[in-house]
Structure 1
Amino acid sequence: MKYLPALFLLLTLLSSCNERQNNKDPEGSSIDNSNLTPAEAIANRYGEANWDRVSQLNFSFNVKSGGREFKRSFQWFPKTDDVVFTSDTDTIEYNRNATLDSLALYADKRFINDTYWLLAPYKLVWDEGVSISEEKNVIAPISGDTLHKLTILYDGGGGYTPGDAYDLYFTDNYAVKEWGYRRNNADKTSTATLWMKEKNLNGIILNTHHQDSTGNFQLFFTDVSIK
């Protein structure tokens, strides 16, 4: 699967959940992370093990920034990788396994961007061509809380825009509280946002609202459903 850093389109087109206690998942059942890497434990906490039951994911991707707003919607059928992209001006249907023409490529870049925001914990274990590292007890850039940091670097040379990095700040219970995007793996964070709301869809845990430290930039998902 091709990947695209999640903020690339936002930068070019315009630009937490509650911590679970006692090492329990959102449904209250115990999670055994003893044999998992931090990346696997984060994906597990968000229900990646349940993904093989999903035959369809629907969502709308919304951004409010600088007084402007936009929205686009997707239907994704992961078993076949068929995608339906809908915006104010276009409806594009394509299969991600086929050769993509210019219209399908246009839609797919947005699909990769938008699903990265929605499924980032799963990308930690799905994506190839990455390096992952962890630091314990670091200061998160927005809240100032002491959290752990997992960095995923797209250094494999493939995809639409390789070389970017993401820093995910997470609790002892592997709940992501905020993250930062570093274009081309720069030392300075390009954009940082909070992870603010969760939606539990039959064990698939999705974060549906992000905003920066000022609240002037908000990215959120509506019309989210799975089959």
Structure 2
Amino acid sequence: MKKLLFLLALGFFVMSCNDKKKEEESATENPNLEIHEKIAMANGLKEFDSISEIKFTFNVKVNDTLRSERQWVWNLESDKISLTEKDSTMSYTKKDSLAKEKEYIDQRFVNDSYWLLFPYQLKWSDADISEAKTAKAPISGKEMQMLTVSYPSEGGYTPGDSYDIYFNDDYMIQEWVYKASGGGREMATTWEDYEDYEGVKIAKMHKSADGSFELYFTDISVKE
């Protein structure tokens, strides 16, 4: 019996190691990938392509006061997006032309989904991405790889914004610094509490250095 238990434990250990190895290989198997592409792949960009629907609740808490709580349903096949906020549900379909009254929803969806799926935006969006370098992360003080993602000064809801992202050798983001356009406001938060949803890896918690600001996700589910 002891031998059987040992073999079972060994088997689970090997399976766990193999799973971790596969995750690392998925980001590095193509030597032609640039670093920002490796970040997207490590977070499950390939697996995201098989998702038909994703649900999540976007929450913001400041000094223990809940400031925002928005529930989203995104049907990726039809591109229909539904927002439930304060017992009211509104929907729209993303397309080239958007009715004026729908811009309220779209602006919030762009913001909330950006936090949720930022690693994929490194492939999806039109941004300038710097070369990676070694730098000290702003919150933990640890040496990590860092690159800067900068958006054009025109177009979008927040033109000219940029982000310094800090990540480990596994290409998973650990911290970032948001910088508003024009040298204005800056905010550093963590990327933590990662969870795997059918291969889609999501950091569920983002905190400021002093913990007074928390942006987090709940009720996450994906449908293949």
Place the TM-score, normalised by the shorter chain, in its bin.
0.7 to 0.9
Query: TM-score, structure 2 length as denominator?
Result: 0.84
Q: Percent identity?
A: 38
- 1:104 Cα deviation after fit: 1.4
Aligned residue number for residue 44 of structure 1: 41
The higher relative CO (CA closer than 8 Å, separation ≥ 6) is in 1
- 1:102 Cα deviation after fit: 3.6
For residues 121 and 153 of structure 1, the distance between their equivalents in structure 2, rounded to whole angstroms, comes to 14
Q: Deviations over 1:119-164 (max 9, x none)?
A: 0000000012x11003321111111100111111001622112100
Aligned residue number for residue 207 of structure 2: 211
- 1:81 Cα deviation after fit: 1.2
For residues 147 and 215 of structure 1, the distance between their equivalents in structure 2, rounded to whole angstroms, comes to 21
- 1:103 Cα deviation after fit: 3.3
Aligned residue number for residue 161 of structure 1: 158
The structure with the greater share of residues assigned to helix is 2
4+ long deviations beyond 4 Å: 24-27
Aligned residue number for residue 146 of structure 2: 149
Aligned 8 A contact 1:180 1:189 in 2: no
Q: 1:122 aligns with which of 120, 130, 149?
A: 120
Q: Structure 1 residue 87 and structure 2 residue 113: aligned?
A: no
For residues 165 and 131 of structure 2, the distance between their equivalents in structure 1, rounded to whole angstroms, comes to 9
For residues 87 and 103 of structure 2, the distance between their equivalents in structure 1, rounded to whole angstroms, comes to 16
For residues 88 and 166 of structure 1, the distance between their equivalents in structure 2, rounded to whole angstroms, comes to 31
CA separation of 1:194 and 1:25: change in aligned 2, threshold 3 A: farther
Aligned residue number for residue 94 of structure 2: 96
Unaligned runs of 5+ in 2: 1-16
Aligned 8 A contact 2:54 2:220 in 1: yes
For residues 25 and 169 of structure 1, the distance between their equivalents in structure 2, rounded to whole angstroms, comes to 26
Where in structure 2 are the equivalents of 1:176-215 lying within 5 Å? Answer: 176-184=173-181, 186=183, 190-215=186-211
- 1:206 Cα deviation after fit: 0.9
Unaligned runs of 5+ in 1: 1-23
CA separation of 1:163 and 1:203: change in aligned 2, threshold 3 A: same
Task: Supply the RMSD in Å over aligned alpha carbons.
Answer: 1.9
